Amino acid sequence: MRNHVEALRRERKWSQEALGAEVGVSRQTVNAIEAGRFNPSLPLALRLARLFEKPVEEIFFDED
């Protein structure tokens, strides 16, 4: 699964640490999500969607 988390975070000029603090995860977790090494749980994906004010489908998508 791919995502736009890094682009959305950079648009807001947030560090990985700041984003992690907003959604309750570590900087390392944010890094792993952005790099595609970790798929977030549904609750975390929903928190990110709410924070970025976007539907989950606009942030996370299939690699196809």
pLDDT in tens, 8-53: 999 999 999 999 999 999 999 999 999 999 999 999 999 999 999 9
Strand partners for 2 = 61
- 10 vs 34: CA distance, rounded Å: 11
- 57 vs 27: CA distance, rounded Å: 23
Contact (CB, 8 A) for 55 and 49: yes
pTM: 0.93
Query: How would CATH label the architecture of 2-52?
Result: Orthogonal Bundle (1.10)
- 54 vs 59: CA distance, rounded Å: 7
